[in-house]
Amino acid sequence: MEENQTMVTEFILLGFCLGTGIHLVLFGLFSLCYTLTLLGNGVILGLICLELRLHTPMYFFLANLALVDIAYACNTVPQTLVNLLDPDKPISFAGCMMQTYLFMTFGSTECLLLVVMSHDRYVAICHPLHYTVIMNWRVCAILAAGCWILSFLLALVHFVLILRLPFCGPHEINHFFCEILSVLKLACADTTLNKIIIFTTSVFILVGPLCFVLVSYTRILMAILRIQSKGGSRKAFSTCSSHLCVVGLYFGSAIIMYLAPKSQHPEEQQKILFLFYSFFSPMLNPLIYSLRNAEVKGALRKAMGKEIHSKLV
């Protein structure tokens, strides 16, 4: 580092370049989304832990997904809310780097969990007689732990590579959180290696898993079409269609962000796409995956019934 360069110690997140009135509206909307995210995923976690009927591999992975969504939202949303009220409030260099690292970790974990969940549904529908043998608790624990550990390690590679870069100004990040590509634009050195690793990792964590998910659901669809019972086929199709909605939106947006040519997606458009990851996806996952499920709704009614009964007594 040259002596006439001053290291950046904090960043300003520009967020959404809109008027104060619009910022207050967004603050209210994002606060509501954040509250619903914590409430929805918290309820799912609580029900799965307390209800013995939900102690199955499918709900074990759903609990992991709910945990990721809570962590995901807590990593990005609070800072965004702060900046909506005070656009000039900075985030420290260490805080920004940690937010970048955790964003990549939780994003990768969610991608891998969606793959594992698609595999779980494939085994349950296509090999129901062998389901308990194939998806035993040891296998489930290994798959879940593998998702978390691999994600932490992949994010660590990016974290180490970005820490080696000098940041000597400017200190304004044109985003509402410390997204890695936006942070790299402020580096005072060549970031080609970082971008190559990001692209390679994106192919590994997005394209490969997406192909695996599509193959799994293609086989599931073929198995559903062979089910004689209309009730059974309807239940299986309902579950899988919900999963596919989340997979399509999540992977589709991520692929556009990290693999599509950047010239086709201006920065303001990229911010809108990232809103899905940070605000809407964690909020919608409990509704799509769990609260539409008859078993989860039954457990929720049972829990509420117990609560009402205890108050009456």
Domain limits, the chain:
10-308
pTM: 0.86
% of the chain beyond a pLDDT of 70: 84
Residue-wise pLDDT tens digits, 127-170: 888 999 999 999 999 999 999 999 999 999 999 999 999 888 77
- Nearest CA to 244 out of 288, 286, 284, 193 is that of 288
- SS in 3 state form for 174-186? CCCCCCHHHHHCC
The C-alpha atoms of residue 233 and residue 257 are separated, in whole angstroms, by: 36
Superfamily of domain 10-308: Rhodopsin 7-helix transmembrane proteins (1.20.1070.10)
pLDDT band at 113 (very low <50, low <70, confident <90, very high): very high
Nearest to 95 by CA among 165, 34, 17, 183: 183
